[in-house]
Amino acid sequence: MGYALPMHAREVGRIPTGLPAGDDHPYRTGAWTPNEIEYDADELEVVEGTLPEGLDGVYLRNTENPVLPSIGRYHPFDGDGMVHSIRFANGRASYRNRFVRTEGLAAELEAKAPLWAGIIESPAKSQREGWGARGRMKDASSTDVVVHNGMALTTFYQCGDAYQLTPQALDNRGKAPWVPATGISAHPKLDPVTGELMFFSYSTEAPYMHYGLVDPKGTLVHHQPIPLPGPRLPHDMAFTEHYAILNDFPLAWDADLIAKGVYRPKMHDLPSRFGVVPRRGGDIRWFEAAPTYVLHFINAYEEGDAIILDGYFQSDPMPRPDPADGPYAGLKKMVDLHAMMARPHRWRLDLRTGKCTEERLFEDISEFPSLNYHKPGRKHRYAWSMTAPEGWFLFDGLVRYDMETGARQRFQYEEGVYASEAPMAPRPGASQEDDGWLVTFTTDIERDRSECHVFDARHIDAGPIAKVALPQRISSGTHACWAPAGTL
């Protein structure tokens, strides 16, 4: 059974669900059952182990948390944004969760009905114009979260605004004023060394992509078009000390179908391309590589005259549905990491010759990477990834990779317990890259409860060193981040 509500917990808000009774959608039930209540909870109970004294900061995770039924078919990436957070300090922990109060959510609550169709439905079914790379979508701001300039920024994978929340109290502060009219995609990239934030956006109209940079004080200081041969579906980017790395993958919208109002992706007979552009703007250089699709990149860094780019190569970016999966067959395959065969991969972009070489790093099926907070854009030795059960978009364990020795460690949760993306929080003053902790939220279906688990980043195979009870069972979700106390 779930944990009793902590003494220092109180309900601060609620949006009652409008989902149908007896809902059987696999991504609105089970581990993906949405939350309705917003809580403040302090003095959380440590039910196992001890919280490290040096763990000082906030772990934030964004979640697709649908409030109302969908227009037609529902995809788990369509749901309304909800941020869950846990603040650690002095061996104690406190929890908050809040809906992201987007313009789209406000409009639907006022209408008491859904107004926008999701990604696997035709935009013609939407009742209003809306947002998004293809238009006529709701900007749910439910994909990603990052802390920049003292604000938590939530974003949407199909492009839109960046919504601001205070990273500790999760007070909604509206839209970030620097976002250009072309919007931004999920996965803006924070350089923790310079404090700069890099971002991209994409659309179905030429030039099809834009790239920009925001300074540490939240001022847009660069924004440029990135001309592409046609409409694409990028999801992530990477950066080094001097460059931003964008992409042009062959899995993209079919331009002929777009002309007929149909937005359906396909694998084109084209190579993958990586675009290298100076961080504060300039000419872009393109490097060709083997055809694939990359949902997320691990990191990039400069090494002599080359850029090393690590990410997850998909051997089958568009797996065929299995009729045995019934009415949700297509949906299940399009979010199944095993079906896509996503594995850690490395590309080497030679800035002198313009050539790209590549290699498989590990054979594990894994995704959703984590690095030491200080390592993005710089050479890393260690990376941590999430593992998934076959047939589901859920995380059932963690794996640690040593890029120098090829060594691996794994931790597997028991069946029915699922984790969240697990960022690495370095120990303050640490001299070793892997000296710190991984933090994750768990959803336990059978016991109807959630916890926050803390792992020693050097020994994840030993299991959590601390477990903290949360005041409610929380829905599964996508992306998370760690923000050290000094950035809050």
Any idea what the CATH number is for the domain that residue 231 is in?
A: 2.120.10.30
Residue 225 has pLDDT above 90, yes or no: yes
Cα–Cα distance, 105 to 82 (Å, whole number)? 11
SS3 430: coil
Cα–Cα distance, 270 to 292 (Å, whole number)? 9
Q: What are phi and psi of 487, to 5 degrees?
A: -100, -5
Distances from the Cα of 293 to the Cα of 208, 270, 314, 341, 479, angstroms: 18, 12, 6, 11, 19
- Compute the mean pLDDT over every residue in the chain, rounded to the nearest whole number: 97
The pLDDT of residue 404 is 97
pLDDT digits (tens, 9 = 90+) for 275-284: 999 999 999 9
Task: Report the domain count for the chain.
Answer: 1
Domain presence at residue 255: yes
Structure tokens at 466: 């601390």
Residue 86 has pLDDT above 90, yes or no: yes
Angle subtended at Cα 474 by Cα 437 and Cα 314, rounded to the nearest 5 degrees: 65
Cα–Cα distance, 47 to 248 (Å, whole number)? 47
Domain span at 333 = 9-487
Asked if 358 and 289 count as a contact pair (C-beta separation under 8 A), the reply is yes
The pLDDT of residue 294 is 98
Cα–Cα distance, 289 to 356 (Å, whole number)? 6
Q: What are phi and psi of 329, to 5 degrees?
A: -60, -50
Structure tokens at 158: 């199909």
Domain presence at residue 63: yes
Domain presence at residue 170: yes
Task: Please name the residue that has the structure tokens 């659309």.
Answer: 203
Domain presence at residue 4: no
SS3 184: strand
Asked if 293 and 268 count as a contact pair (C-beta separation under 8 A), the reply is no
The pLDDT of residue 277 is 98
Task: Give residue 477's pLDDT band: very low, low, confident or very high (50, 70, 90).
Answer: confident
Q: How many whole angstroms from its chain centre is CA 477?
A: 9
The pLDDT of residue 3 is 77
Q: Is the dihedral of CA 97, 102, 104, 107 positive or negative?
A: positive
The pLDDT of residue 6 is 72
The pLDDT of residue 134 is 94
Domain presence at residue 1: no
Cα–Cα distance, 311 to 423 (Å, whole number)? 16
Cα–Cα distance, 449 to 100 (Å, whole number)? 23
Domain presence at residue 2: no
E strand intervals along 65-150: 81-89, 92-99, 144-148
The pLDDT of residue 244 is 98
Supply the DSSP symbol for 485.
Answer: G
pLDDT digits (tens, 9 = 90+) for 98-147: 999 999 999 999 999 999 999 999 999 999 999 999 999 999 999 999 99
Cα–Cα distance, 134 to 159 (Å, whole number)? 9
Lay out the sheet containing 342-350: strands in order across: 297-303, 306-314, 342-350, 356-360
Asked if 174 and 164 count as a contact pair (C-beta separation under 8 A), the reply is yes
Of 431, 419, 360, the C-alpha closest to 387 is 419
Task: Please name the residue that has the structure tokens 């699922």.
Answer: 418
pLDDT digits (tens, 9 = 90+) for 322-375: 998 899 999 999 999 999 999 999 999 999 999 999 999 999 999 999 999 999
pLDDT digits (tens, 9 = 90+) for 32-79: 999 999 999 999 999 999 999 999 999 999 999 999 999 999 999 999
Give a three-class secondary structure readout of 347-405: EEEECCCCCEEEEECCCCCCEEEECECCCCCCCCCEEEEEECCCCCCCECEEEEEECCC
User: For the whole model, what pTM was predicted?
Assistant: 0.97
E strand intervals along 181-271: 189-190, 197-202, 209-214, 220-225, 238-239, 243-248, 251-253, 265-267
The pLDDT of residue 56 is 98
Domain presence at residue 3: no
Domain presence at residue 89: yes
Q: What are phi and psi of 125, to 5 degrees?
A: -80, -15
